[in-house]
Amino acid sequence: MKKVMPMKTKIHILLILLMLILGLSGCGSKIEVKSENNVFSFSKLNDLIYELNIPDGEFSHLEGNNISDGDYLLIDDKLIIKKAYLTTLNPGEYEYSVVTTIGKKNIEVKIADENQKYQLINGDFETGDLFGWSVFTIFKGEDNIQSFVEEGIKENTTFFTFEVPYNGDGKYVYGLDDRDGLNKDRWNERMGMMRSSVFELGGSGFISFKLGGAKNQDLSYISIRDAKTDYELARFSNPKFNTTNFTIDPENYYEANLVLYKADLKQYLGQSLYLEICDFGGRDWDLLTFDSFITYHPSEPLGELAVDIKPEFSQSYITNQIPNGDFSQNLDFWTVSNAMAWENNLAFYTDNGVLKSNVNGDEARGLVRSSLFRIDGSGIISFEIGAAKGARYDKDTYISIREEKTNREILRIANTRNNGSDLIKYYVDLSEHMGKNVYLEIVDNARNSYDAIFVANIITYYAVKPEYDFGQAGINLNY
């Protein structure tokens, strides 16, 4: 016979279940979360800190708005939401759940509207580090000669020469990297690139920045790039650099001290862009100091108008053979840069079909740029190189092959088999870049013995791959 539970027992069980339910639902009320400030400021780049009090349980995780474990920290009883995550959020209010072993507690995060989609992250370096920027090596993967490192972030005071003020804004600038003490030659030798976050160009279409150093504008500059195509839209350097004696003419003395520039980019309004700071030189003052990259101005800002110096080509038809590759027409179809004209010494000339950079001996420096040609046929090109035998020939005297529009260096060749002034033939395989339009830059950025470069007989089209051995193949210095 089936037993029937007494009514009194049923009521007792229901009361117990009700108490359990009420107890569990009340667990969330035992979780306390406090914060003095739950507003993230793009200009201040502040972490958000919440104090947790979970007397009868433990923190499990934070959930909401695609936040993941790496976006926050728990240190003691403090929950820290990192600024690196907060910069990815649009202005507005967001709700998150602090999940614990005894329940959940909701918290609110507010993202202030500071036109952040128009601004790059940490453009003023006031975090005291390189937060928001990405660093890249550009020469044989040698990280130890990277130009852009945390040690370069300096207090906005003075640099060593005559104790001249940097003239930056705020507490920090990117100044003279002294990781080697006062060994300025080591600072000069370093190379690299540093890339900003992406921003949409808005407001007046002007950006502004402060820049120092960059004595050689061909090799030290700021590049403005399209975030979708990677095309280089503009290139700016520091034409006001000079070595005027500070004690005689302090108003025109610019070395590491910063010059305020403004750049008119309004033709690119609405486009997604990023900045790249480029240091490709390894000689005297081939370094950059900088501060205050401001990419949103409601109206035209103050500053010296920056001049675009990116390579320009006017060819209406591009063939697979470079014009005047044998230099029989002197320097026709080649562009000699005047970026180092302050030396009163433009290095390049032709001599019986050979391009030479020693117009006034090994002291001369400079850059010469070819017209465009299309990689075609077998994809093999060749040229002859002589001299370029100095102690740092592979950094200072070389041939760079660059892609049109992006102006990216796809290959760099030095005279690795140098034998005095003898011309040595090199073959370069560009077949993986078939169909691209490219150009050559021939660079002499050195001034010691054999620090000149001779180039002749440039052939950029072979219908069939020519025969050559491994020893004749040019070595790409970017690998």
Mark whether 60 and 122 lie in a shared domain.
Answer: no
The domain that holds 107 is classified in CATH as 2.60.40
Which residue do the tokens 């299309």 mark?
A: 374
Q: Is residue 324 domain-resident?
A: no
The answer to whether 149 and 172 have CB atoms below 8 angstroms apart is no
Q: Is residue 15 domain-resident?
A: no
- Which of 11-15, 87-91, 111-115 is the least confident region? 11-15
Q: Is residue 96 domain-resident?
A: yes
From CA 86, how far away is CA 274, in angstroms rounded?
19
Domain's final residue, options 52, 76, 111? 111
Average of per-residue pLDDT across 215-221: 93
Q: Is residue 83 domain-resident?
A: yes
From CA 452, how far away is CA 390, in angstroms rounded?
8
Q: What is the DSSP-derived secondary structure letter of residue 464? A: S
Q: Give me 362's structure tokens.
A: 């090994």
Q: Is residue 136 domain-resident?
A: yes
Give the range of the structural domain holding residue 69, as residue numbers without chain letter. Answer: 32-111
Mark whether 345 and 386 lie in a shared domain.
Answer: yes
Q: Is residue 156 domain-resident?
A: yes
Confidence of residue 68 (pLDDT cuts 50, 70, 90): very high
Percent of the chain whose pLDDT exceeds 70: 90
Tell me the pLDDT tens digit for each residue of 288-322: 999 999 999 999 999 999 999 999 998 889 999 99
Count the Cβ atoms, other than its own, within 10 Å of residue 103. Answer: 19
Q: Is residue 346 domain-resident?
A: yes
From CA 176, how far away is CA 157, in angstroms rounded?
12
Which of the pair, 305 or 178, is modelled with greater confidence?
A: 305
Edge to edge, the sheet with strand 354-356 lists: 349-351, 354-356, 453-459, 380-387, 424-429
Q: Give me 18's structure tokens.
A: 């009700």
Angle at 271 between CA 269 and CA 276, to 5 degrees: 105
Q: Is residue 183 domain-resident?
A: yes
Domains: count for the chain: 3
Domain's final residue, options 111, 129, 148? 111
Mark whether 169 and 283 lie in a shared domain.
Answer: yes
